[in-house]
Amino acid sequence: MTFEEIQRQAKAEWDSQYHGEVAHILIGTATCGRAAGALPVVEAFSKELAKSGVQAKISEVGCIGLCSLEPLVTIIKPDSFAVCYNNVTPQVVPTLFEGYVVGDDPCLDIALGTLDGGDGAPVYIPELLRFEHEHRLLMRNCGYIDPSNINHYIANGGYNSLGKALSMQPDAIIDEIKRSGLRGRGGAGFPAGIKWELCRKASGQTKYVVCNADEGDPGAFMDRIVLESDPQQVIEGMAIAAYAVGAHEGFVYIRAEYPLAIERLQVALDQAKKLGFLGGNILGSDFSFDIEIAQGAGAFVSGAETALMMAIEGRRSMPRPRPPYPSESGLWGKPTVLNNVKTYACVPAILTNGSDWFSGIGTEGSKGTAVFALAGKMVNTGLAEVAMGTTLHELIFDIGGGIRGEKKFKAVQIGGPSGGCLPENMLETPVDFDSLREAGAIMGSGGVIAMDEDNCMVDTAKFFLDFIQTESCGKCSTCRIGTKQMLDILEDITAGKGKIEDIDMLVELGEDVRDGSLCGLGKTAPNPALTTIRYFRDEYEAHILEKRCPARVCKELTAYYILPDKCERGCEHCVLACPVEAIVTNEKGIKVIDQSKCTKCGSCELVCPPEYDAVVRLSPISEVPVSGLEKPE
């Protein structure tokens, strides 16, 4: 089949499903959709369909980015508008099915909104204000097309760019990528075009193209969503890169913790191969290229490029000094281009729309869009794609919907264990590579975690140091020993054993770890501690000087207490929930916590009925009134 025939066939299939005679039900079944219960919803729709005998089609699609509203269902009706429904359960499926699949009632009272392809992007819900702030480029198809059907991708312009690339000179492609200003989406932001050029110019017949999908940053899941929702754009981007640099073999290094992404990527690779977008003589040219999946085995350090290549070679993923850079000596010593999932995913759109179009989005130094994973205490958790230069405030409040409940915003953690915590007065910082670095954080992998007054900054720093300390590969002694020392100090502080000079010691150690480590993991490891000290020094001082945790998180400095005047005497919720029988009823019928038995698990606070709201946390511990329960021995 020629490319034109493939396109014609794909378009016909697409039109019959998305603009056809029968209703089309799209159900988001990416990992987050599944976690929220999407599979029983699929089952319920299939059952209704079988029962009714109505003609309709069900497709499992990826993620639209609205994770907190999962499971999401979109019903596309001929001659009507597509309607999106949120938090769908199997119980409401019959209503939706009768209403909009069989009948003509779009059930607007339980709908989230209408899906219209405003601005050229199929995924756009005009009713949700957050979409006004988004700029969907990589995610334009996510949650709309079936990721396991390559025809859906082709029908939406897929593989046009590869066809175009194969008719261009490799140098012209590299020039185009350079002009677009595309910088690596993995976090460091190295210009992709320059990487490619260095690799092209490097001597040697064998070259490799590697995609870094080892998204190990706890709190980030953009790469997973892209691979689960629209994997073909990554494959097309890699194929273009391979043609540009002269490579014939590629690897996607993906973490084993993402089984669904691996499964969908493998299906996508098989389909691409079958249609001749991978393999020998691609699209009738004399260019050959194939991609293999290499599964990561769980090591955060593998995200560092030199370490990642060691892992593909089947060795311990430990970084090595650069130069030589991978573009000269990478996988098995051969010139290698290594980019992130999202970097490759940008490439087809750049070739289709031109470098001027891409460089027209974003800021002076950072072009294009950025995908962020919004998590933590935000209302609208999920994914957002915005133009570079959008402020943190816009990201957290306009798109993320601000902080949940009545709580007050305290800090935003951006960039994961390599990033930092920024306070409220830094919210006007634009998100781009350079502004964030200046603020002490980094773009990193793009995890944005909002924290409220219930989160302790010292505990957060300790959490990241604990992670980094465990994940340090041990090659550089500053990282191996330094992060352990920093963690020990933070543990002392959160346990109320800190000394005031510890704060300066942390800063000093942090600088040593940064300067003395080889790879990105070590160089950025102190960031969470350094930024929390820089912006929240008062919290450190409260822990050390007053033995008080302002957020009442650190266990050793916090106690649970039942307010006697709020405790409704007859209720036994807390007594039953307490796993260690630390709650007893006193002679007045009021519940009292035996502090010597309490393990501070928080169960009593969770189960105390909201209308009583009698369980509180107190810090320092000395604030707990003497109950008379603790009888002297």
Partner 1 sequence: MAELKEELLDVLKPEKKARRHLISLLQQVQRKLGYLPREAMIAVADFLEIPGSTVYGIATFYNQFRFTPLGKHPVKVCMGTACHLAGGQLVLEAMARELDIEVGGITDDHEFSLDRVACVGCCALAPVVVVGETVYSRMTPPKVEELLVTVKPVSREQSENQESSG
Whether the CB-CB separation of 446 and 373 falls below 8 Å is answered with yes
Q: Which residues pair with 289 in a beta bridge?
A: 279
Residue 397 CB, shortest distance to partner 1, in Å, is: 17
**Residue among 165 and 338 whose Cβ is closer to partner 1:** 338
**Residue among 31 and 355 whose Cβ is closer to partner 1:** 31
Residue 566 CB, shortest distance to partner 1, in Å, is: 20
CB atoms within 10 A of CB 205: 8
Residue 607 CB, shortest distance to partner 1, in Å, is: 6
Residues 6+ away with beta carbon under 8 Å from 107: 83, 85, 95, 96, 99, 100
Q: Which residue has the tokens 């691996």?
A: 262
Residue 376 CB, shortest distance to partner 1, in Å, is: 6
**List of residues contacting partner 1 (CB under 8 A):** 31-32, 34-36, 67-68, 70, 215-221, 224, 256-259, 294-300, 311-317, 373-377, 381-382, 413, 416, 447, 449, 451, 455, 460, 463-464, 467, 471, 473, 577, 579, 599, 601-603, 606-607
Whether the CB-CB separation of 445 and 187 falls below 8 Å is answered with yes
Report the C-alpha gap between 632 and 444 in whole angstroms. 54
**Residue among 86 and 151 whose Cβ is closer to partner 1:** 86
Burial class (CB in 10 A: 0-12, 13-18, 19+), 495: middle
Residues 6+ away with beta carbon under 8 Å from 518: 319, 320, 321, 475, 476
Residue 519 CB, shortest distance to partner 1, in Å, is: 15
Interior CA angle at 6 toward 5 and 10, to 5°?
115
Residue 577 CB, shortest distance to partner 1, in Å, is: 5
Residue 52 CB, shortest distance to partner 1, in Å, is: 29
**Residue among 30 and 592 whose Cβ is closer to partner 1:** 30
Alpha-helix runs per DSSP H in 53-155 = 93-96, 130-133, 150-155
Residues 6+ away with beta carbon under 8 Å from 485: 509
**Residue among 12 and 606 whose Cβ is closer to partner 1:** 606
**Residue among 158 and 319 whose Cβ is closer to partner 1:** 319
- With both helix axes pointing from N to C terminus, report the angle between 457-471 and 527-545 in degrees, rounded to the nearest 10: 130
**Residue among 18 and 560 whose Cβ is closer to partner 1:** 560
432, 457, 458: which is closest to 446 by C-alpha? 432
**Residue among 382 and 482 whose Cβ is closer to partner 1:** 382
Report the C-alpha gap between 11 and 157 in whole angstroms. 10
Residue 260 CB, shortest distance to partner 1, in Å, is: 9
Sequence-distant contacts of 257-263: CB under 8 A, at least 24 apart: 257/298, 258/31, 258/213, 258/215, 258/224, 258/227, 258/228, 260/30, 260/31, 260/34, 260/228, 261/31, 261/213, 261/223, 261/224, 261/227, 261/228, 261/231, 262/293, 262/295
CB atoms within 10 A of CB 294: 18
Structure tokens at 279: 């393999």
Residue 118 CB, shortest distance to partner 1, in Å, is: 24
Report the C-alpha gap between 238 and 338 in whole angstroms. 10
Residue 279, classed as helix, strand or coil, is strand
The amino acid at 130? R
Phi then psi dihedrals of residue 280, to 5 deg: -85, 150
Report the C-alpha gap between 321 and 301 in whole angstroms. 14
Residue 324 CB, shortest distance to partner 1, in Å, is: 20
**Residue among 152 and 224 whose Cβ is closer to partner 1:** 224
Residue 273 CB, shortest distance to partner 1, in Å, is: 18
**Residue among 258 and 540 whose Cβ is closer to partner 1:** 258
Residue 502 CB, shortest distance to partner 1, in Å, is: 22
**Residue among 70 and 146 whose Cβ is closer to partner 1:** 70
**Residue among 361 and 456 whose Cβ is closer to partner 1:** 456
Residue 284 CB, shortest distance to partner 1, in Å, is: 30
Report the C-alpha gap between 619 and 3 in whole angstroms. 68
**Residue among 218 and 360 whose Cβ is closer to partner 1:** 218
